[in-house]
Chains A and B, each alone.
Chain A
Amino acid sequence: MPPVRTARASKKAPPEGFDDLEDTLLEFAAAMKDAENAPHDGKKKYEMVWPIFQITHQRSRYIYELYYEKEAISRQLYDWLLKNGYADAGLIAKWKKQGYEKLCCVRCIQTKETNFRSTCICRVPKEQLKEGQDIQCVNCGCRGCSSGD
């Protein structure tokens, strides 16, 4: 959860250009809050965290694209955003690597915690899956993030 800009936090005001992103970031923050406070509705425990992973992913992607693809924000602002938790630095670091451009979350590529010491099913390329196989990983609810397209 990134800090809400209160009077105290604004002492260290964000670098120039933050204003342009603020609306979208507030929307993400609101969506995140909703996801965190969402009722259980009989969902499985691990399903509850999926929206949170998703929003983290979207927000990181947003900042990643603004900096690397659209060159819309300064390095200073980018660093400030990472430092203040607006984007997941670990995830962005992976996106820069070939084959991980669309990685959903860092948990899905960790082999240590899994039963079979392998990465998540969502990392298996589409063409290697059985015909019509519908997948969704347990970690973040991803439906496949290694496809090359």
Chain B
Amino acid sequence: MSDVPVRPPPPPPPLPAGWTEHNAPSGHTYYFNKETKKSTYTRPVAAAAQPPPPTPLPPPPASLPARPPASLGAESGYSDYNDPTHQQLNAFDPKRQMEDLIFGGAQNLYSNRGQDHARGGLRGGFRGGHNNFADRPRQPRDRPKHRQDIPGCAPWVLVRTKLRRRFVWNKDTNESFWKFPPDVMKAVIEFDRVEREKKERRERGEPSDVEEDDAMAEIEAGLAQAEEDVEIVEVEGEEGMEDEEEYEEVEVTDDEGEEASHPPKRQRTEEPPTEQPPEDDDLAWQLAQMEEMEQMGGDHEQEEYFEEEPLSEDDCKALFKELLDDTNTNPYTPWDKVLEAGALYGDERYKALPNMKARKECFDEWARDKIQYLKEQKAKQQKLDPRIPYLALLDRYATPKLYWPEFRRKYKKEPELKDMKLPDKEKEKLYREHIKRIGMHSSELKSDLTALLKAQPLAALNHSSTLDTLPSSILIDLRYISLPPSSREPLIKTYISTLPAAPEGAAASAEEEAAVAKKREERRRRERALAEREKSVQEEKRQQERDLAYGKGRLREEEMEIERAMNVGKEGLRAHLGAE
């Protein structure tokens, strides 16, 4: 623990007139004003003589939870703290701000905890600056979910957050770090190993001894509680606190967004550092503060922690089905062959479903629906102009490299080429014409397409049209496919956006449009949520890898040290022998 500074608290500022300090039976300090008969946990302060708020805890390194190479040691985390930009950012007091957020705006101007006087002499000069950001409401985006004592490493506690990140917290000094101090790290690695083994043993169904069962039950209970969205695990000895008369007047203002629905159980109290370990809402506070520092570190990925609804089973299925759609999977192909083709593996959505059985079931469901849909489409298409699918085929495959006979041979299996409703002569004519047009200058093609679009009546093409619902009069026109989709589609979209709404009688299509838009939005949400999930899995993995690498690094270092020590020993001995 030598390299983690233990910081002495500063003397508390004097109380304003009328206020007295008391100790509650729970050990908390509270303040009572005999004039107003008001009590509060927050140390009151004389308005005029307001000293600047103290500096918060040393933050974790800006790029959380990145860990420097082992050789740099724990110190490096602080080195960039002297950077002027950091100091600038520290001009306001994030701690207070976070307290306000978490504890409903209580006036916690002073805190006895977590002062870094040992190292932060300079920083005092920056205190009490403008509270540039203090008024900006910001929710803590992460919060502690679960805490566990690290065995053999008291007083350190391992805290897991809602976003499955971990940090360590020292109960005694009330410090917390994303970057585990080396000896804590060792203990955590050992702890993880033991947990993993237990879990594996449990999965194998092997009996474990009673002690472990208890430990496991505790963990499970903790997790279960976390799932019920109970914010933090209760600590024994704190019950009944709310019943204390002295605490009645403590007000919680619930005007801060999400937190309002989960008002904290207690006001945060000011404690002298010699008191009992702080409570779990302190953990929330610690975390919030670390988050704050993290954000100040310049990494403004607001979206990253944007809380998506978790993926439901239906969402996962929908993601997988969209993957099947997007890869143009043939629903008539047997599942084994789809897998063999290998088009699915590379996509994140493949992993949306947990196992092969679920995937197969989902595929079957999808294929069934898709086939029904295709049947309907076919029935509709039969009434349609055969040129529409044929031109779509040309759009996909036609190339100046192939003469008509070659093209016909190469794609003879395509139903569009087999379709007898369109005579071969007509097909050939369209193909030759199309190839000729592809060679034209794109500006010419663009003006041709614009002319075609302009020729459409408003009833057929209007503001609610989409690329999927273009009128057939466009689809059978070669001018439509002359431009490649990449330049054609934006052009059409732009044109459509300039059009007025459909004339009377097109309401149904507008409704359809709304449905389509909704579908699109749903899809976007699912994909975001999947990315989110993937990210947190990756983050966890990276964290584990880093832990491992870090642990290994430490181990190597120690080995080298031992080796060095032994070398010296030998040489020393030899020198000693030589002397004799």
Task: Enumerate chain A interface residues (CB-CB to B < 8 A).
Answer: 19-21, 23-24, 27, 58, 61-62, 65-66, 69-72
B337 in contact with A72 (CB, 8 Å) = no
CB neighbours (8 Å) of A58 from chain B are 334, 336
Whether A24 contacts B332 by the Cβ 8 Å rule is yes
| Size category of the binding interface on chain B | 10 to 19
Q: Kindly list chain A residues whose C-beta atoms are within 8 Å of the C-beta of B372.
A: 71
Binary contact readout B310-332 vs A (1 if CB under 8 angstroms, 0 otherwise): 00000000000000000000111
- Known interface pairs A66-B332, A69-B368; 17 further A-B residue pairs with C-beta atoms within 8 A, sorted by A's residue number: A19-B415, A20-B371, A21-B332, A23-B413, A24-B333, A27-B337, A58-B336, A61-B334, A65-B364, A69-B364, A70-B364, A70-B367, A71-B368, A71-B372, A72-B332, A72-B368, A72-B371
Take A27-B337, A72-B371 as given contacts and tell me if A20 and B332 are in contact as well, using a CB distance cutoff of 8 Å.
yes
Chain A CB count within 10 A is highest, among B330, B333, B334, for B334
- Please measure, in the bound complex, the distance between the C-alpha atom of A61 and the C-alpha atom of B335, giving whole angstroms: 11
**B336: A residues at CB distance < 8 A:** 58
Residues of A within 8 A of B413 (CB): 23
The residue in chain B whose Cβ has the minimal distance to the Cβ of A26 is: B413
Contact check, B334 vs A72: say whether CB atoms are below 8 A apart: no
Residue of B nearest to A71 (CB): B368
- Report yes or no: A24 in contact with B367, Cβ–Cβ below 8 A: no
User: What chain A residues lie within 8 Å of B331 (beta carbons)?
Assistant: 70, 72
Task: Collect the chain A residues with CB atoms within 8 Å of residue B364's CB.
Answer: 65, 69-70
Residues from chain B with Cβ under 8 Å of A27 in the complex: 337
Chain A CB within 10 A, most for which of B330, B332, B368, B371: B332
- Partner among A19, A24, A71 whose Cβ is within 8 Å of the Cβ of B334: A24
The contact string, 1 if C-beta is below 8 Å from chain A, for chain B 333-377, is: 110110000000000000000000000000010011001101000
CA distance A70 to B363 in the complex (A): 11
Q: Are A70 and B368 in contact (CB under 8 A)?
A: yes
Cα A62 to Cα B372 with chains together (Å): 17
Interface of B is mostly: helix
Q: How far is the CB of A140 from chain B (nearest CB, A)?
A: 17
Q: How far is the CA of A102 from the CA of B405 in the complex (A)?
A: 47
Mask, B359-397, CB within 8 Å of A = 1, is: 000001001100110100000000000000000000000
| Docked complex Cα distance between A66 and B415 (Å) | 21
Work out how many contacts link A and B, with CB atoms closer than 8 A: 37
Q: Which 9 pairs of residues, A with B, have the shortest CB-CB distance?
A: A72-B371, A70-B368, A20-B332, A62-B334, A21-B332, A70-B367, A24-B333, A70-B371, A19-B415
**Residue positions of B touching A, CB distance < 8 A:** 330-334, 336-337, 364, 367-368, 371-372, 374, 413, 415, 418
Chain A nearest CB from B410 CB (Å) reads: 16
Question: Is there contact, CB below 8 Å, between B367 and A72?
Answer: yes
Q: B330 to chain A: which residues have CB within 8 Å?
A: 23
A20: chain B residues within 8 A (beta carbon)? 332, 371, 374
Inter-chain CA distance A21–B337, complex, in Å, is 13
Whole-angstrom distance between the Cβ of B495 and the nearest chain A Cβ: 36
Closest residue of A by beta carbon distance from B368: A70
Which residues of B lie under 8 Å from residue A70 when comparing CB positions?
331, 364, 367-368, 371
- Would you call A24 and B337 a contact (CB within 8 A)? yes
* A24 CB contacts on chain B under 8 angstroms: 332-334, 337
- Docked Cα-Cα span, A142 to B334, in Å, equals 20
Residue from A20, A21, A66 with most neighbouring chain B CB atoms (10 Å) = A20
**A64–B333 CA distance with the chains assembled, in angstroms:** 13
B146 to chain A, nearest CB (A): 36
B418: nearest chain-A partner, CB-CB: A19
Task: Tell me, in angstroms, the Cα distance from A24 to B332 when the chains sit together.
Answer: 8
Complex CA distance for A24 and B418, rounded to whole angstroms = 18
Nearest B residue (CB) for A25: B332
Min Cβ gap A79→B in Å is: 18
Q: How far is the CB of A19 from chain B (nearest CB, A)?
A: 6
Which A-chain residue is minimally distant from B335 (CB atoms)?
A65
A72 to chain B minimum Cβ distance, whole angstroms, is: 4
Shortest Cβ distance from residue A34 to the other chain B in the assembled complex, whole angstroms:
15
A96 CA / B332 CA spacing, docked (Å): 22
Q: Which of A27, A58, A62 has the largest number of chain B CB atoms within 10 A? A: A62
Chain B: minimal CB distance from A21 (Å): 6
- Point out the residues of chain B lying under 8 angstroms from A72, CB to CB: 331-332, 367-368, 371
A23 to chain B, nearest CB (A): 8
**Chain B residues within an 8 Å CB radius of A71:** 368, 371-372
CB contacts (< 8 Å) of A66 on chain B: these are: 332
User: Chain A residues with Cβ under 8 A from B368's Cβ?
Assistant: 69-72
Most chain B beta-carbon contacts within 10 A, residue among A19, A21, A62, A72: A72
23 chain-A/chain-B pairs, Cβ below 8 angstroms: A19-B415, A20-B332, A20-B374, A21-B332, A23-B330, A23-B332, A23-B413, A24-B333, A24-B334, A24-B337, A58-B336, A61-B334, A65-B364, A66-B332, A70-B364, A70-B367, A70-B368, A70-B371, A71-B371, A71-B372, A72-B331, A72-B367, A72-B371
Q: A80 → chain B, closest Cβ, in Å?
A: 16
Bound form: Cα–Cα A91–B364 in Å: 21
Complex: A72 Cα to B367 Cα, angstroms: 9
CB of B330, distance to nearest CB on chain A (Å):
8
**B333 CB contacts on chain A under 8 angstroms:** 23-24
